[in-house]
DNA sequence: GTCTATACACCGATAGAC
DNA sequence: GTCTATCGGTGTATAGAC
């Protein structure tokens, strides 16, 4: 019926505009910094007047919220995809998942600031946007549990080590590999500590 | 001579007002958040009009800059003071210095954000303000070198591990000790990795 | 329904009177 | 040195044209 097709076309147009807004926001966040986002710049980039954005998003924080959900959804997908190439041994698996998250986080500074730091003054993600983040952590918990990371303190330590290397890499050597080269070694340290073998990789190598 | 005493009295008054501004800024940063600082709030707290602040500071970023220098100077002093109670064995020393920095960092969230994160949009510390920060790192490098942390990768890893635990503690359990309890264990892992004995502390304890 | 035009409150910062 | 007045810019919101 006509009403249906009309509503679909309008609905598609609205969704396309919303997507255009988010893409402009990501581009500007990467160019000028996440906190420097302004509604006027976003509107300019897509040929709109600033107030018109309010026809598609509720507020600036709603844009951050959608970006937050988008980033963690993408991260969750990437983590799930990483399972296909995961080595069978536990030591290798611990390195594999750490590397997957490390590479994802360090490949986009603005995205990492939004996902893992609280760099935006008034922004707090909504429960809906936070959902894929907790799902990612749940996935990690399940995966790592099958490779010897069974207790909460063990998982906390694993997360802190990987997070520390990510932050150091982005803060002190963005685009480089000074801390990236230390990741495998750090995970092997951790694996030894929890009693997981690190076969297939000699100790103390630092290529 | 008269000119001298007059200039001294004026100079002292100016310095006192400046100190008053910085103290108000710290108090507001802790109450409402570092990024939520406004010149109007600072002026209100010390009974001034906002534009009058510009007679004592060049800009809002100059206030952040003075706070940055103050924080790192305080940190440097605390690290120097920690030498007096440092245990003689290397394993204990690595834990001792890590604990000193961890406790200093986690005891003040606003200060830690200013010192170690880049949470303020337009702010970059001046070389003068950055000086005590590099001096603190130099001190750490010298101290740790006498306890087996001799290479740059070793130092990088040590810094990343301690920093990761600090960030995790402040982000996920502020005021608690969930990651604080993991610090000694993490440092022991690291000490074992670089071939430093961890006598005086049994392995895998998690009190 | 979507956009333009306009306004509001707040921010950092400046000019000039006293 | 401190004040009043004001500027340009921001996020936000509403009225009204089409």
- The answer to whether residue B164 neighbours chain A at the CB level (below 8 Å) is yes
B200 in the Ramachandran plot: left (φ > 0), alpha (ψ -120 to 50) or beta? left
A47-83: pLDDT as tens digits: 999 999 999 999 999 999 999 999 999 999 999 999 9
Provide the mean pLDDT of chain B. 93
State yes or no: pLDDT of A34 exceeds 70. yes
Percent of all residues in chain A with a pLDDT value above 70, rounded to a whole number: 91
CB contact under 8 A, A161 and B163: no
How confident is the model at residue A204, as a pLDDT?
A: 47
pTM over 0.75: yes
The C-alpha of A90 sits at a distance from chain B's nearest C-alpha, in angstroms, of 18
CB contact under 8 A, B161 and A156: no
Among B94, B92, B89, B116, which residue's Cα sits nearest to residue B34? B116
Among B45, B71, B49, B57, which residue's Cα sits nearest to residue B136? B71
Give the pLDDT mean for A15-20: 91
How confident is the model at residue A37, as a pLDDT?
A: 94
Question: What's the CA angle centered on B165, arms B205 and B153, to 5 degrees?
Answer: 95
Residue of chain A minimizing CA distance to B162? A164
List of residues 6+ apart from A41 with CB closer than 8 A: A28, A32
B24-68: pLDDT as tens digits: 999 999 999 999 999 999 999 999 999 999 999 999 999 999 999
What is the band of A202 on the pLDDT scale with cuts at 50, 70, 90?
A: low
Cα A182 from Cα A12, distance rounded (Å): 47
Furthest CA-CA distance within chain B? 70
Of B121, B161, B178, Cβ closest to residue A164: B161
Q: How is residue A150 written in tokens?
A: 């069974």
Q: Does residue B56 reach within 7 angstroms of strand D, measured from its CB?
A: yes
Of B168, B193, B206, Cβ closest to residue A189: B193
Q: Which residues of B touch A119 (CB under 8 A)?
A: 117-119
Residues in chain A: 207
B183-195: pLDDT as tens digits: 999 999 999 999 9
Q: Does residue A38 reach within 7 angstroms of strand D, measured from its CB?
A: yes
Q: Within a 10 A sphere around the Cβ of B205, how many other Cβ atoms? A: 9
Do residues B149 and B194 touch, judged by C-beta distance below 8 A? Answer: yes
State yes or no: pLDDT of B6 exceeds 80. no
**Which sign, positive or negative, has the C-alpha torsion A54, A59, A62, A63?**
positive
Query: Exposed/middle/buried for B99, CB within 10 Å: 0-12, 13-18, 19+?
Result: middle
Do residues B189 and A189 touch, judged by C-beta distance below 8 A? Answer: yes
Q: Which residues of A touch B206 (CB under 8 A)?
A: 153
The C-alpha of A137 sits at a distance from chain B's nearest C-alpha, in angstroms, of 13
A119-175: pLDDT as tens digits: 898 899 999 999 999 999 999 999 999 999 999 999 999 999 999 999 999 999 999
Q: Does residue A56 reach within 7 angstroms of strand C, measured from its CB?
A: yes
B140-180: pLDDT as tens digits: 999 999 999 999 999 999 999 999 999 999 999 999 999 99
Do residues B93 and B87 touch, judged by C-beta distance below 8 A? Answer: yes
Among A132, A35, A21, A148, which residue's Cα sits nearest to residue A79? A132
What is the band of A1 on the pLDDT scale with cuts at 50, 70, 90?
A: very low
């Amino acid at each position: 019926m006509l009403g249906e097709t009309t509503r679909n076309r309008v609905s598609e147009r609205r969704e396309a505009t919303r997507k255009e807004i988010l893409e402009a926001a990501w581009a500007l966040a990467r160019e000028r910094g996440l906190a420097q986002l302004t509604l006027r710049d976003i509107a300019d980039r897509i040929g709109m007047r600033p107030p018109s954005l309010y026809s598609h998003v509720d507020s600036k924080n709603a844009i951050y919220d959608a970006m937050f959900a988008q980033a963690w959804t993408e991260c969750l997908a990437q983590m799930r995809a990483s399972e296909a190439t995961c080595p069978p041994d536990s030591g290798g698996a611990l390195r594999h998942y750490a590397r997957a998250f490390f590479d994802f986080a360090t490949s986009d500074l603005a995205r990492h600031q939004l996902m893992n730091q609280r760099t935006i003054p008034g922004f707090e993600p909504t429960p809906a946007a936070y959902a894929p983040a907790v799902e990612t952590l749940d996935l990690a918990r399940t995966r790592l549990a099958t490779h010897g990371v069974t207790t909460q303190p063990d998982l906390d330590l694993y997360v802190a080590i990987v997070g520390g290397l990510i932050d150091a890499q982005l803060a002190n050597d963005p685009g480089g590999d000074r801390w990236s080269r230390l990741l495998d070694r750090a995970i092997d340290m951790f694996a030894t500590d929890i009693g997981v073998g690190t076969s297939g990789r000699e100790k103390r190598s630092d290529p």
